[in-house]
Amino acid sequence: MSKNLVLYFSVYGTAKLAAEEIAKQTGAELVEIEPVIPYDSDKSHYNALARYAKKEHDENKRPKIKNKINIDSYDNIFIGYPMWWYTFPMIIYTLFDEYDFSGKNIIPFNTHMGSSDGGTYQTIAELEPNARVLKGLPLEMSAVEKGCADSVAKWLESFNF
C-alpha cells in the first residue's frame, strides 16, 4: 500500500485549507513547509507581501525552511502552494533544491486568483526529472474559502492509490 504525504506552504491559509482537505480524503500525513522568517499573513498588508514576493523572485532568493521534512518513507507526495507572481513562492524552489524526490510521485496543487498553475507543474517536472509528476489541481482561492471537498474528491478519483 502506498504511503501519502501532503506538504504545503501557505500564508493566507487557502493552500492550507486545500492541503487539509486532501489529507482528510487520502488519510495522508500533513506537513507545513515553514519558513525561518515568517511572511506577514495579514491580508490588509497584501501589497507589501506582493512587493516582497516579487523582490524574492527577481533576486532568485531561496528562503530557508525552518522544519526538517522526512520524505523518504512516502511514495506519493502532494505539494501545495499559492501562486505568487505567476509562479510558486521561492521557498518551493528551496524545497526542490534541498530534497531529493527521485522515485516519488509528486502531485502538485495550488491556489490562485486567476493564473491557474502558471506553468508550475511543468517547472516541477523540470526540477525533479527523476520523479513522476502527476496531474495537478489548480484551485481558485475564493472557491477554496467556500469549500473544496468536491473538487478535491473529483481530482483524487483520477489516481489509483
- Give the mean model confidence (pLDDT) for residues 96-125: 96
Count up the domains in the chain and report the number: 1
pLDDT of residue 1: 60
Residue 79 pairs in a beta bridge with 7, 108
Tell me which residue of 119, 110, 150 sits closest to 14, measured CA to CA.
Answer: 110
Residue range(s) defining the domain that contains residue 138: 4-156
Residue 28 in any domain: the answer is yes
Residue 38 in any domain: the answer is yes
As a whole number, the mean pLDDT across the chain is 95
* 124 pLDDT above the threshold of 80: yes
* 110 pLDDT above the threshold of 70: yes
Residue 29 in any domain: the answer is yes
Listed range (40-44, 123-127, 136-140) with the worst mean pLDDT: 40-44
Residue 119 in any domain: the answer is yes
Q: Quote the pTM value.
A: 0.95
Q: Which residue has the cell 525552511?
A: 65
CATH of the domain at 130: 3.40.50.360
Tens-digit pLDDT profile for residues 71-104: 999 999 999 999 998 899 999 999 999 999 999 9
Tens-digit pLDDT profile for residues 146-160: 999 999 999 999 997
Residue 161 in any domain: the answer is no
pLDDT of residue 160: 78
Residue 117 in any domain: the answer is yes
Tell me which residue of 3, 68, 72, 61 sits closest to 33, measured CA to CA.
Answer: 68
Tens-digit pLDDT profile for residues 32-71: 999 999 999 999 998 999 899 999 999 999 999 999 999 9
Q: Decide the pairing of beta strands 105-112 and 132-133.
A: parallel
